[in-house]
């Protein structure tokens, strides 16, 4: 239980981060399936099983695609550009006038040594990795919440249209006349949009005044750059 709590609250490794992302996607996906897709009609196991398996397969494909990429480190856009601009290797490249490859080699030849728990700078290594994971987690949540919210909103619109079309007779589960599910179906996309707006407002990658996880990411990298200048600046 302690390890699971650590994964959910503050993942320390890429695998922990992938595990948390998978859990988040699983929870949001299952709720979406239960509200809009999978009519768990226990009198018709074949139909229920089929719809559930199709939904689960889609979730698995999305998870595989997300797990195979690292858009912050290798992508482009506002969030990726800010994330990458804070790398100490970018600072070294500008200061020494070397290629990006050489700058990364110089930096990681030093930084990787700090991975040892006995190294005096080990805390900087842990903090940098942790804050990088925090940035990825917030970015992932924003990416997921706005898309799941839009998909849920679209599903509500489709169900509403089908419900009030005279020539279409929906099963009771899918009809918006089903009072037990109307509120959850409307609240779910609104909650996703609210989550996206909250995360966006509290985590801004502003180059001059970042907030939230982006501010913490900049802070630790500023410390690493200062350390480099203090210890290797005379070699310029």
Taking the complete model, does pTM exceed 0.85, yes or no? Answer: no
Here the contacts of 2-9 (C-beta below 8 Å, separation 24 or greater) are none
Task: Give the DSSP letter of residue 119.
Answer: S
Residue 47 domain-assigned (yes or no): no
Please, are residues 58 and 50 in contact by the beta-carbon 8 Å criterion? no
Residue 150 domain-assigned (yes or no): yes
Residue 10 domain-assigned (yes or no): no
Residue 203 domain-assigned (yes or no): yes
Task: Give the DSSP letter of residue 114.
Answer: G
Closest to 231 (Cα-Cα) out of 82, 99, 85, 124: 124
Residue 76 domain-assigned (yes or no): yes
Whether pLDDT at 13 is above 70: no
Residue 63 domain-assigned (yes or no): no
Residue 48 domain-assigned (yes or no): no
Separation CA 35–CA 26 (nearest Å) = 14
Number of folded domains in the chain? 1
Residue 7 domain-assigned (yes or no): no
The set of residues, in sequence order, having a beta carbon less than 8 Å from that of 177 and lying 6+ positions away, is 163
Q: How confident is the model at residue 1 (pLDDT cuts 50, 70, 90)?
A: very low
In whole numbers, what is the pLDDT of the chain averaged over residues? 82
Largest CA distance in the chain: 80
Range of the domain at 180: 71-235
Separation CA 84–CA 81 (nearest Å) = 5
Which structure tokens are listed for 95? 């200061």
Whether pLDDT at 42 is above 50: no
């Amino acid at each position: 239980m302690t390890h699971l709590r650590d994964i959910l609250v503050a993942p320390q490794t890429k695998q922990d981060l992938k595990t948390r992302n998978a859990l988040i996607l699983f929870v949001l996906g299952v709720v979406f399936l239960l509200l809009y897709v999978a009519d768990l009609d226990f009198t018709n196991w074949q139909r229920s099983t089929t719809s559930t398996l199709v939904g689960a397969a889609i979730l698995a494909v999305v998870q595989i695609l997300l797990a195979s990429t690292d858009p912050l480190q290798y992508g482009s856009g506002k969030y990726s550009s800010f994330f990458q601009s804070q790398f100490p290797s970018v600072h070294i490249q500008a200061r020494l006038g070397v290629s990006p490859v050489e700058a990364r080699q110089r930096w990681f030849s030093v930084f990787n040594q700090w991975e040892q728990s006995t190294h005096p700078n080990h805390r900087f290594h842990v903090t940098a990795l942790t804050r990088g994971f925090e940035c990825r987690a917030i970015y992932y949540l924003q990416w997921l919440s706005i898309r799941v919210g839009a998909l849920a909103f679209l599903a509500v619109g489709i169900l509403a249209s089908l419900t009030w079309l005279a020539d279409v007779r929906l099963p009771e589960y899918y009809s918006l006349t089903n009072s037990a599910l109307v509120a959850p179906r409307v609240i779910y996309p609104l909650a996703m949009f609210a989550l996206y707006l909250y995360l966006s407002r509290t985590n801004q990658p502003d180059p001059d005044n970042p907030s939230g996880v982006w501010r913490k990411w900049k802070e630790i990298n500023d410390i690493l750059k200062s350390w480099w200048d203090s210890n290797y600046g005379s070699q310029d």
